[in-house]
Amino acid sequence: MFKEIKIKPLRYLVIILYLIIIFFCTIEINFLWLFGYSPTIKDIQAPNMRIASELYTADSTLIGRYYKENRSPIEFKQITKGTINALVATEDVRFFNHSGVDLRSLLSSMVSTVSGDKRGASTITQQLAKNLYRTRNNKQQGLIRKVPVARTIIYKFKEWLTAMKLEQQYSKEEILTMYLNTVPFGSNTYGIKTASKLYFNREPEKLDIEQSALLVGMLKATTTYNPENHPERALERRNVVLSQMEKYGYLSKEEFTRYSKRPLDIRKGQITEEERGDSYLRSAVERYLSDWAEENGYDLYESGLKIYTTIDSRLQKYAEEAVAEQMKILQKRLNNAWGKEEPWRTSDGKVIPDFPQKAAQRLPIYAALKRKYNGNQDSIDAYLNKPKKMKIFSWDGDKEVEYSTIDSIKYYASILNTGMMTLDPFNGHIKVWVGGIDFEHFKYDHVNQAKRQAGSTFKPFAYLAALESGMSPCDKFVDKPVRIEYQEDDSTKYWEPKNSSYSFSGMEMSMRWAMGKSVNSITAQITEQVGWDNVVKYAHDCGIESDLKSVPSISLGSADVSVFEMVKAYGTFLNKGVRTEPILVEKITDHDGRVLENFKAEQKRTLTEEIAWLMLYMFRGGMEEPGGTSQSLWEWDLWKKGNQIGGKTGTSSDFVDGWYMGITKDLVTGVWVGCDERSVHFRTSGTGEGSHTALPIFGRFMEKVYHDSNSGYTYGAFPAPGTKINREYNCPSPRYTIDTSAADTTAVDSLAEPDSLIIDESLYDHEDALVPAEKQEAQPPKNTSQQTEPEDSRSERKRKRQERREERKQNKEQNN
């Protein structure tokens, strides 16, 4: 068909143009997979700028960001004229006069290169195409990548095509905005907004001329012209940009002179740690949203989402403070308990031989060492025992030490950790999430990733099963030895639980009293009567999702569960028998604020309102019944205006795990304390019980919440029953002189004879609460020690309590 063109020069020109068109078409369609992927019109219309997603609390406090490339997009109106002028004068002076490819600049560049003055000819739009669509990324390359010179030419042609598509789709202002939102500034910093904060700690719309020139100058080579690492080079490059601005009329000679004499004046903003906000909460939200993001086609690290959690920033702050204050005390207590002794012990107290070496074998690096040294144990041990510099966690701040891997294992095995969660069960909003003591050093989340023995915090499910079977809080049981027969693995076994004191009082107690005192023997009797299958059933109904082995000891907390599960289950009692699935995210919007998803908690009634109210009444027994295990809470300022708190302590065997589950009229909070290494634990009940480890965290937390008038949470009693209570529940308990079972631990496989007990009939209560509401602020609940100790001893106890309160008050004033 070309022969029809008679004029040969014209014919050859048409043939050349035709071949060029064919060539570009083959590139565009990736013919035979030679050239790699090219952005489509759809890609151009909806560019993925890999924008960071932002994480907020319920009260709109920014607490973290998700990003692969640290960027925060801005609008054109936020870009100063000086920034635009500096960019155009330096990178593409004919930007406003071309359509994506500047042929004049291209030809000029070719001539300059031939003459030895090598310079680029990429337009701002071409650079945007490269940054936005990664045209030179390996994943975008075709087979041509194996041909060195040809691949460079092809990549340039692909950038031309993409640049022209961008120019057809967007205005010059939009292209400049996208460019400044995507361009890298080094240190994993992308976009003018992030760079402005990183190097000058100010917003982009407040940049001075010389500051804009510095940032634009960095684009030539972000490492070479980094103002922190190479200030002299950065200053020189900045002044080159200023001279370009003068050359093309954006600055007068006087302005150039003035700006070029100014110092760099770097004022670095803290963005890396603050804005990423690595934390247990940030990681928990990522896990929480993983399925949603996949199902809806979003990437938390690139989609520019705004994620609004249910977390209350005030409560989160108070929880973190309470954890830090108490855990620092507990760590010293544990260290003092063992001194220079090795703390990793078997259940009978014997040191575990070769514990650090065996722990080292569980490390990921151990398998690599075996390969590296061909299984030579001496070489492996030499590596593991070789000291090296490392940073370790301590409550006095991170420390630089020279530890071997074995030293590190020994050190961290004895570090106590914690998990804490607070829930509003009425709407399912998680208000507090503390996954551990320090995210940088301990990534494992102790709220929903870790599972530990629940101890006596699991007992309420046995009492719930009893209420469901028709019993009442006033039904009586005797604290006596118990031997329960059961079948397991086709054989007959016997369970003989003991009280933590290794003795039995022989006293008759109501169910409320027994639960408040956490008496193992009575819990076991109730379990035998209602059936351990039912204990498991009602635990699952309330929200426990972990596998539970149906054995008699289940009611004493022999199963491993998470803090998350326990808080959810206890929330069923406060929410009038309606189980609520906790939610961590309330709303997600796109970057422009359009709502993409609202989250609401799923709810299901699993208990009657009557049963739920009776369980709350039982929980109050921990504070109100004689010897109740929650009465250490009296140390904190929690008892004003008729305030009521229900709760349950828990301690697993050998004081490995300490728990406290606290319930107020508004919230449910769960706290666990222990070492990640279960063989390391406290030695005595006085130091290691949940009432001495986890409960104080709850007490400190709630005191801070109540003292903040702006928190939205106030003192007050539990609500009156919203339905008729058909069972007897007002059965005052006697005061007694000897308490042999008040400690709260899981213990099995022993029998003991009951101690004798003298009951003082004159000490029976006559109301369902031990202390009238109007007197609660003035006096603590009565207990054994108050009835039997001399007046001088009582005065001494009162004096010590007052000293502790004054000490806490002084500490708060110092912190403030």
807, 670 Cβ separation under 8 angstroms: no
DSSP 358-390: HHHTTSHHHHHHHHHTTT-HHHHHHHHT--EEE
Task: Measure the CA–CA gap between 175 and 233, rounded to whole angstroms.
Answer: 29
Task: Identify the pLDDT of residue 141.
Answer: 55
What is the model's pTM? 0.74
Q: Provide CB contacts within 8 A for 641, sequence distance 6+.
A: 714, 715, 716, 773, 777
5, 14 Cβ separation under 8 angstroms: yes
Among 87-101, 115-129, 283-297, 409-423, the minimum mean pLDDT is found in 115-129
- Determine the average pLDDT of the residues in 489-501: 89
- Most confident stretch, 33-37, 226-230, 507-511: 507-511
In Å, what is the CA distance from 806 to each residue of 142, 639, 697, 704, 802? 74, 17, 18, 15, 6
Confidence of residue 586 (pLDDT cuts 50, 70, 90): very high
Long-range contacts of 722-725 (CB under 8 A, 24+ apart): 722/576, 722/609, 722/613, 723/608, 723/609, 723/610, 723/613, 724/610, 725/610, 725/613, 725/614
Give me the chain's average pLDDT, please: 85
Higher pLDDT, 618 or 135: 618
Q: Over pLDDT 70: what percentage of the chain? A: 79
pLDDT at 32 over 60: no
Task: Measure the CA–CA gap between 132 and 170, rounded to whole angstroms.
Answer: 14
Q: Over pLDDT 90: what percentage of the chain? A: 66
At residue 66, φ and ψ (nearest 5 deg) are -115, 125
- Determine the average pLDDT of the residues in 25-38: 60
- Determine the average pLDDT of the residues in 682-695: 94
Size of the chain in residues: 816
pLDDT digits (tens, 9 = 90+) for 246-305: 999 999 999 999 999 999 988 877 554 445 567 999 999 999 999 999 999 899 988 889
Higher pLDDT, 444 or 103: 444
Task: Identify the pLDDT of residue 771.
Answer: 33
Task: Identify the pLDDT of residue 707.
Answer: 98
Task: Identify the pLDDT of residue 784.
Answer: 34
646, 620 Cβ separation under 8 angstroms: yes
pLDDT at 404 over 80: yes
pLDDT digits (tens, 9 = 90+) for 307-332: 999 999 999 999 999 999 999 999 99
Task: Identify the pLDDT of residue 122.
Answer: 84
Q: Which residue(s) pair with 420 in the sheet?
A: 434, 671
Higher pLDDT, 130 or 616: 616
Task: Let me know the angle formed at the C-alpha of 469 by 465 and 475, rounded to the nearest 5 degrees.
Answer: 90
- Nearest in space to 744 (alpha carbons), one of 689, 673, 699: 689
Task: Measure the CA–CA gap between 39 and 26, rounded to whole angstroms.
Answer: 14
Q: How many CB atoms lie within 10 A of CB 781?
A: 21
Task: Identify the pLDDT of residue 12.
Answer: 66
pLDDT at 397 over 90: yes
Q: Provide CB contacts within 8 A for 541, sequence distance 6+.
A: 572, 579, 606, 607
68 dihedral zone (left: phi>0; alpha: psi -120 to 50; beta) = alpha
H or E segment at 176?
A: helix 172-182
pLDDT digits (tens, 9 = 90+) for 588-624: 999 888 999 999 999 999 999 999 999 999 999 999 9
Task: Measure the CA–CA gap between 286 and 279, rounded to whole angstroms.
Answer: 11
At residue 172, φ and ψ (nearest 5 deg) are -60, -40
Confidence of residue 756 (pLDDT cuts 50, 70, 90): very low
pLDDT at 630 over 90: yes
Task: Measure the CA–CA gap between 495 and 486, rounded to whole angstroms.
Answer: 8
pLDDT digits (tens, 9 = 90+) for 45-73: 766 667 789 999 999 999 998 887 777 77
pLDDT at 142 over 60: no
Task: Identify the pLDDT of residue 532.
Answer: 97
Task: Identify the pLDDT of residue 773.
Answer: 33
Task: Identify the pLDDT of residue 471.
Answer: 97
Task: Identify the pLDDT of residue 26.
Answer: 67
Task: Identify the pLDDT of residue 72.
Answer: 77
Task: Identify the pLDDT of residue 273.
Answer: 42
pLDDT digits (tens, 9 = 90+) for 112-128: 555 554 445 689 998 88
Give me Rg for the CA atoms of the chain: 35
Confidence of residue 225 (pLDDT cuts 50, 70, 90): very high
Task: Identify the pLDDT of residue 574.
Answer: 98
In Å, what is the CA distance from 118 to each residue of 111, 114, 248, 497, 699? 9, 8, 21, 86, 71
Kindly tell me the sign of the dihedral angle through the C-alpha atoms of 36, 41, 44, 50. negative
Higher pLDDT, 551 or 141: 551
Task: Identify the pLDDT of residue 51.
Answer: 75
- Determine the average pLDDT of the residues in 40-49: 66
Confidence of residue 182 (pLDDT cuts 50, 70, 90): confident
298, 412 Cβ separation under 8 angstroms: no
